Amino acid sequence: MSIKVDPTKCNGCTLCVKACPVDAIEVKDKLAVIDLDKCTLCSACVSACRFKAISIEVDKQPAEDLQNYKDVWVFGEQRDGKVAPVVFELINVGRQLADDRSSELSVIILGDNLDEAVADLASYPVDKVYVYEAPELEIYDSERYCRVLTDVMRDYKPEIVLAGATTTGRSFMSGVAIRLYTGLTADCTGLEIGEDGLLHQTRPAYGGNIMATILCPYTRPQMATVRHKVFPTSAKRCEGEAEIIRLTPKPALFGSRSKFVDFVETVGEQGNLVDADIIISGGRGLGGPEGSAPIRELADELGAAVGASRAAVDAGWIPYAHQVGQTGKTVCPKIYIACGISGAVQHQVGLKSSDVIIAINRDPNAPVFDIATHGFVGDIFEVLPALTKKIKALRGAPADSCVIQ
């Protein structure tokens, strides 16, 4: 296995040098030379080269039993018997993938007292719902969940497994993939069956500055966690019904070295950022904890969640759970309204995939305007209260003509 530059194809154009994230390539005498001590075999140069001069060779064969794996499975994450919204998005994309592979779509749900959740799942276009119920599984436990799901995967051999890129999905799916010695692609935003029949998984890396397409060619299942709100929620089924299959719990798998103590819900008033369609965020421009009042009032009026820049969080004005950005959350709402936020790169990476970005900032040169779909140069303490007032006053009034496109 190695990385090679074909000297007959390379003309020393330096595209690869620019693409290399670890600065491992130099052009000497019109030929790209790769420093193998620095190279991480990330393949950025292979994609960047227009002359197909760079190649990475892996001498590896797919496992022999790949054809024994079929169907698409979705992990039906639930809490207190309520299915996580991302699951219905996974059903949507999973249905497409299963149809493309001419196979079936199943959901697996782990927990206890799941009747309502199962009925809910069965009302969507899935072929099967696998139900694994045991009191020990009522509350998520990474060790137990990992062992149980691994065991089910070994028995049923799905070809593709999708889970939400939630705190739950991201942490325990990693363990399942480790145990099965297969690949898990994190936080995917694109999923497609390629002509090769493989699952082509596309995901952002380096804070969304690059998109990487990843395959899992040699082992099964092909596993991915999928970002919230990238795929639309599935429509309910219009015909037929899902087969419900109850799996027999194996208590031998329920050992765990961790114990649940308690759970304190905090989202309530300010909304769950990752599920929100609209987020109104405040930054240092809020000027103090009381500065967030106009944001909260507008958020209430719009049914939006409240977000924050790191500056506002570090100042203690808004709790960390609301921080958007590199060291906070990545969000993809339909509308992101940045109020009194300068738009530093570290903040931008968290919100760049929002459909529409609206920025209100009194500094016309704030970097946030470089990415805002609609920028408003103004004072948030004047604009926001007036806007909220106007929305309240006109609630229910007929639509004006759209002045802005």
Ligand X SMILES: Cc1cc2nc3c(=O)[nH]c(=O)nc-3n(C[C@H](O)[C@H](O)[C@H](O)COP(=O)(O)OP(=O)(O)OC[C@H]3O[C@@H](n4cnc5c(N)ncnc54)[C@H](O)[C@@H]3O)c2cc1C
Q: Does 252 bind other proteins (CB under 8 A)?
A: no
Q: How far is the CB of 381 from ligand X (least distance, A)?
A: 5
Region 263-292 residues binding ligand X, contact defined as CB under 6 A: 283-285
Residue 37's identity, in one-letter code, is: D
Q: How far is the CB of 12 from other proteins (least distance, A)?
A: 15
Region 17-76 residues binding other proteins, contact defined as CB under 8 A: 18-23, 36-44, 46-48, 56, 58-60
- Cβ–Cβ < 8 Å for 298, 304: yes
Q: What angle do helix axes 167-180 and 142-156 make, rounded to 10 degrees?
A: 50
- Cβ–Cβ < 8 Å for 212, 183: no
Q: Does 4 bind other proteins (CB under 8 A)?
A: no
Q: Which of 158, 183, 285, 340 binds other proteins (CB under 8 A)?
A: 183
Q: Does 354 bind ligand X (CB under 6 A)?
A: no
Q: How far is the CB of 368 from ligand X (least distance, A)?
A: 7
Q: Does 399 bind other proteins (CB under 8 A)?
A: yes
Task: For other proteins, give the closer residue by CB, 22 or 119.
Answer: 22
Task: For ligand X, give the closer residue by CB, 109 or 312.
Answer: 312
What is the rounded CA–CA span in Å between residue 143 and residue 308?
33
Q: How far is the CB of 385 from other proteins (least distance, A)?
A: 9
- Cβ–Cβ < 8 Å for 17, 53: no
Q: How many CB atoms lie within 10 A of CB 143?
A: 15
What is the rounded CA–CA span in Å between residue 274 and residue 350?
11
Task: For ligand X, give the closer residue by CB, 106 or 292.
Answer: 292
- Cβ–Cβ < 8 Å for 226, 90: yes
What is the rounded CA–CA span in Å between residue 220 and residue 240?
30
Q: Does 402 bind other proteins (CB under 8 A)?
A: yes
Q: How far is the CB of 309 from other proteins (least distance, A)?
A: 13
Both tokens assigned to 86? 């991302």
Q: Does 264 bind other proteins (CB under 8 A)?
A: yes
- CA distance from start to end of the chain: 52
Q: Does 346 bind ligand X (CB under 6 A)?
A: yes
Q: Which of 134, 242, 278, 312 binds ligand X (CB under 6 A)?
A: 312
Q: Which of 33, 112, 122, 376 binds other proteins (CB under 8 A)?
A: 376
Q: Does 257 bind other proteins (CB under 8 A)?
A: yes
What is the rounded CA–CA span in Å between residue 301 and residue 295?
10
- Cβ–Cβ < 8 Å for 99, 216: no
Q: What phi and psi values does residue 147 have, to the nearest 5 degrees?
A: -65, -45
What is the rounded CA–CA span in Å between residue 99 and residue 72?
9
Give the count of residues interacting with other proteins (CB under 8 A): 122
Task: For ligand X, give the closer residue by CB, 86 or 341.
Answer: 341
Beta bridge partners, 202, equal 190, 213
Task: For other proteins, give the closer residue by CB, 31 or 371.
Answer: 371
Collapsed DSSP state (helix, strand, coil) of residue 284: helix
What is the rounded CA–CA span in Å between residue 114 and residue 224?
25
Binds 33: which of ligand X, other proteins, none (CB < 5-8 Å by kind): none
Nearest one of 119, 118, 106 to 75, comparing CA atoms: 106
Q: H or E element: which one contains 126?
A: none
Q: Does 340 bind ligand X (CB under 6 A)?
A: yes
Task: For other proteins, give the closer residue by CB, 238 or 402.
Answer: 402
Q: Does 352 bind other proteins (CB under 8 A)?
A: yes
Q: Does 330 bind ligand X (CB under 6 A)?
A: no
Q: Does 175 bind other proteins (CB under 8 A)?
A: yes
Please report, as ranges, the residues that interact with ligand X according to CB under 6 A. Answer: 283-285, 309-312, 323-328, 340-342, 344, 346-347, 350, 360-363, 366, 379-381
